[in-house]
Amino acid sequence: MASTAPVPGGPSVPDDANALAPLVWPSSAARDASGRIVIAGRDAASLVAEFGTPLYVVDESDVRARAARIRRAFDDAAASIGTTVTVYYAGKAFLSGAIVHWVTDEGLAVDVCTGGELAVALAAGAAPARIGFHGNNKSAAEIERAVGVGVGVIVIDSEIEIERVADAAARAGRVQPVRLRVNSGVHASTHEFLATAHEDQKFGVPLDRAVELGARIRSHASLAFLGLHCHIGSQIFDAAGFAESAERLIGVHAELSREAPVPELNLGGGFGIAYTAADEPAPIEEIAMGIVRAVADGCREHDVPVPKLAFEPGRSIIGPAGITLYTVGTIKPVPIDGGVRHYVSVDGGMSDNARTALYGAEYSARIASRVSDAAPALVRVAGKHCESGDIVVDAEYLPGDVAPGDLLAVPATGAYCWSLASNYNHVPRPPVVAVRGGVARVIVHGETEQQLLARDAGLEASDASNDRPIEGNPA
């Protein structure tokens, strides 16, 4: 396979197309003497021999360490300004019973945004008082259940939800703690942010209505108003956007505090991770300290006590701890300006990682079953689905001798890959395997074709020999 020049805006040609960028891979990732990628003591080839491909692999110790580090970072930062903090794990990134156990063991609360996520958290033993419930369109049944089980806080996302939550709490004979989600007008991503007057989006209420709606919440004896909540974006690499948002929120927080105490302020999550070697997020300790200093400055300016703080990291805990393993199927050279791009097709794709197709997300990849001294070649890792947009890695350099049967590893897939997985083209969703200390175990079972067929009610009407027509169809 011939090498090719770099594409404009794409990755640079690496000196070593076998190297594992430290920030991108799980902390335990390395190559063994045979050149195979090893995660938490298990090499990729042995994992595939046992569980097949595609395969999600999660380093349990890495998840735990990241959860503990983020909690310590915010604990220490909050203590430096004389307050405390609650760190929620944002379950939408990836939620399973094992994940709930890991993050709660490390001292985190759990954030959910649907009845299904609430069910997982409760079934895994999360304390209801340590659960926060988000969502822009919570059903009456979801609200009833959340109130009934004693969820610690419900985030009110719209004016109409005030009455819904208040009525549910009154019927349950409970005073339900709530926060009010507001839009600060700050939009942040990576190292850039844009500050505007208003946001045009489905979440939250305008900041200039927070005082009015806070009074509405306080008018209900069945609700306890804890404070404001705001989320400014995702994949954020520094504290600047959070600081701007905090400054705006604290002015309204102070106004609300003149009527009655406002004990908390939740500034959301969205802390970014490295998906490629070019990504350089600031250390979480630096981000945490930058945010809390902005909070302290704002409270000093408005002469209000520093509230208890809350944050909701998800991706930054689970994302870098996960990889996805694939088997290479076909390789197709395609001429492009300046050279050749090689389409390396794998046995998964947008059904197990929709982010590239949905958001244009960038990923990297490495051959996991061996190393090679072949010159780097420009590749695009494609999936097996019947869509031209079924791309896993848009642009990467792999050794030029990448071949059918090679195992390919895509790092930083712990967040939003399993969560967004589908059965497009009737492809079963892969299993999730956790590895710790050289021991691998399934934490989410993969699906089989038989399980997909079992859900098809139309097939239930046919007998085993397919002699009888499907019910409802003409003979």
Give the catalytic positions in this structure.
386
Strand duo 176-183 + 205-206: pairing: parallel
φ, ψ dihedrals at 340, nearest 5°: -135, 140
Beta pairing, strands 30-31 & 37-39: antiparallel
Long-range contacts: 146-151, Cβ < 8 Å, 24+? 146/118, 147/172, 147/174, 147/176, 148/172, 149/118, 149/122, 150/174, 151/118, 151/176
How far is Cα 218 from Cα 106, in angstroms, rounded to an integer? Answer: 34
How far apart CA 321 and CA 60 sit, in angstroms, is: 8
| Distances 448 to 48, 93, 409, 453, 458 between C-alpha atoms, Å | 17, 24, 22, 9, 18
Determine contact, residues 17/397, Cβ cutoff 8 Å. Answer: yes
Q: How many CB atoms lie within 10 A of CB 105?
A: 11
Q: Which of 387, 362, 414, 10 is nearest to 189 (CA)?
A: 362
Token pair, residue 414, equals: 């712990």
Spatial separation of the C-alpha atoms in residues 27 and 59, rounded to whole Å: 8
Rounded CA gap, 360 and 1, in Å? 27
Report the C-alpha gap between 141 and 144 in whole angstroms: 5
Task: Tell me the C-alpha to C-alpha distance, in Å, between residue 25 and each of 38, 113, 273, 413.
Answer: 11, 28, 10, 10
Which residues 6+ apart lie within 8 Å of 244 measured at CB?
A: 184, 186, 193, 195, 294
Amino acid at 163: E
Q: How many CA atoms lie within 13 A of 60 on its CB side?
A: 22
**CA–CA distance, 95 with 159 (Å, rounded to integer):** 29
Is the CB of residue 398 less than 8 Å from the CB of residue 72?
no
Instruction: Label residue 35 left, alpha or beta by phi (over 0 means left) and psi (-120 to 50 means alpha).
Output: left
406 is written with which tokens?
Answer: 């090679």
- Could you give the C-alpha distances from 11 to 247, 307, 398, in angstroms and in order? 37, 44, 12
